[in-house]
Amino acid sequence: MMRIVVLGSGRSSWYLLNYLAEKSAEKGWKLLVCDRDEQALQNHTKGLLLETRVCDIANTDVLSELIEGSAIVISLLPPTMHFAVAQLCLKWGVHLATASYVSAEMKNLHSSAAAKGLIFLNEMGLDPGIDHLSAMRAMDAIRSRGAEVVSFESYCGGLIAEANCGDNPWGYKFSWNPRNVVLAGQGGMSIYRQNDVTRCLPWHRLFGQAGRLPIPGLGNFDAYANRDSLGYAEAYGLQKAKTIVRGTLRRSGFCEAWQVLVELGYTDALTILPKSVRSMAALSDALTGKEESTTTADWLLNNQIITAEMKEKFKFLGLDDEQIFAEVETAADILTQQLMKKWKMGEKDRDEVVMYHKIGFEEDGELKTHHSVLRVTGDDALHTAMAKTVGLPLAMGVEMILLGESKELGVVIPVSSGWYVPVLKRLEQHGIVFKESIG
């Protein structure tokens, strides 16, 4: 009996676990899900035919015991833990699958994994993941006609359905890791190519440089560039393309307001604050120097830091709340805790995933544009579009590996037809379908 071990059971796990539980029952596989958080484990596995185990995955001995004898390990752990898992998978001769970006450390395991006949599949989620699959399908189809791709833009956003935005002027609620949203862009420049000019944009200017992006059939969005768009130029065959941009989507008006929070220091995750600063009110006083009798939103407006149109956004955040947060050290910690209250999805709220590829190509001397648009809406706060679009492709990649459908060995990402043909076909059966057009 082949054993599948899933490490972690977070926000994006339900669809993955449900899919693999059904396949395991059908194929005679054994599915074991492990997490140190018993409540999270119960919440995300309730009603599913699988085994669970509460354990300390950070303990190397426990982790080694879980991996030994398994057929494949799925790591839903924080990206910093994937390499330790990969080393043990290499030791015990076990396949590995994650939805995370390939780290430099992981890349270095390619030859060793391939030599053992192992597949270490990475970037098989939403973004990265479905973006690779769908973009490569579109570009391969264009190239098969003898056309040349001259520009490539790809954007993705985990949003809240517009119908559930009425009480939130930011048009945003958390459908995935809140910390990652608060720290978006930090840690390096955003590097991309636009009209044959390479741009390197420092993260503290990122949201202020966000552009207005019209998406066919869906309207206008804010779009800002991801960390390194050029890192995929070779994998995508775009070395000669004049424009290469991979970015993130938000509702219109979000980025301009978020840039204010960045510039004021609310997203600073490095500076340890004095112990007296443990609430939003104290943080706002410290960052602005305003008088106590003035609300932060009024102070920002009076000092022309925000416009009148932006004021409602800042009032909504509760920047003058006096609740004391425990175990916070930085401004980003405090902001995260506050936003987890303000941007929490209600039980019946529906999130939304939007992905858009805009591919410019030259065919028979004429410039044309290929549009691929994906919109997936969740059912509720548990059965989210984010969980569906992250979990299903990862589960399907695991299924392919166990069925021997993949021919690539070593550390791989899903950019070849061997991945995108079967996985996109499976995804379409679950309502994940791109609308494609040329204009």
Neighbours of 237 (CB within 10 A): 16
The candidate with the shortest Cα–Cα distance to 226, out of 256, 194, 188, is 188
Closest among 211, 173, 180, 182 to 194, alpha carbons compared: 211
Which part of the chain is CATH 3.40.50.720? 3-126+386-433
Tell me what pLDDT residue 300 has. 97
CB 354 within 8 A of CB 156: yes
CB-CB neighbours of 428 under 10 Å: 11
Residues of the chain with CATH 3.30.360.10: 130-258+346-383
Q: Using CA atoms in the order 168, 171, 176, 178, what is the torsion angle rounded to 10 degrees?
A: -60
**Kind and range of the H or E run holding 284:** helix 280-288
In 3D space, the residue among 208, 176, 195, 173 whose CA is nearest the CA of residue 344 turns out to be 173
Strand partners, 34: 7, 53
Residue 289, phi-psi category: left (phi > 0), alpha (psi -120 to 50), beta (remainder): left
Q: Using CA atoms, how far apart are residues 44 and 283, in angstroms rounded to an integer?
A: 35
Task: Select from 429, 380, 432, 366 the least CA-distant residue to 150.
Answer: 366
CATH number of 130-258+346-383: 3.30.360.10
Residue 381 is predicted with a pLDDT of 86
* Length in residues, the chain: 439
pLDDT in tens, the chain (439 residues): 899 999 999 878 999 999 999 999 999 999 999 999 999 899 889 999 999 999 999 999 999 999 999 999 999 999 999 999 999 999 999 999 999 999 999 999 999 999 999 999 999 999 999 999 999 999 999 999 999 999 999 999 999 998 898 889 999 999 888 999 999 999 889 999 999 999 999 999 999 999 999 999 999 999 999 999 999 999 999 999 999 999 999 999 999 999 999 999 999 999 999 999 999 999 999 999 998 789 999 999 999 999 999 999 999 999 999 999 999 999 999 999 999 999 999 888 999 999 999 999 999 999 999 999 999 999 998 899 999 999 999 999 999 999 999 989 999 999 999 999 999 999 999 999 999 999 8
CA dist., res. 227 & res. 382, Å (int): 29
CA R_g for the chain = 23
Phi, psi for 177 (deg, rounded to 5): -55, 110
Q: How many CA atoms lie within 13 A of 427 on its CB side?
A: 29
Contact 273, 282 (CB under 8 A): no
Q: What are phi and psi of 8, to 5 degrees?
A: 105, 150
Helix H segments across 305-364? Answer: 311-316, 331-342
Under 8 Å between Cβ of 93 and 116: yes
Angle at 308 between CA 302 and CA 309, to 5 degrees: 155
State the distance between the two ends of the chain, measured CA to CA, in whole angstroms: 51
Contact 263, 235 (CB under 8 A): no
Cis peptide before 128 (omega within 30 of 0): yes
SS3 state of residue 123: coil
DSSP code, position 386:
H
Burial of 287: CB neighbours in 10 Å, binned 0-12, 13-18, 19+: middle
Structure tokens at 80: 């910093």
Q: What are phi and psi of 268, to 5 degrees?
A: -65, 120
CATH superfamily of 3-126+386-433: NAD(P)-binding Rossmann-like Domain (3.40.50.720)
Residue-level pLDDT at 293: 85
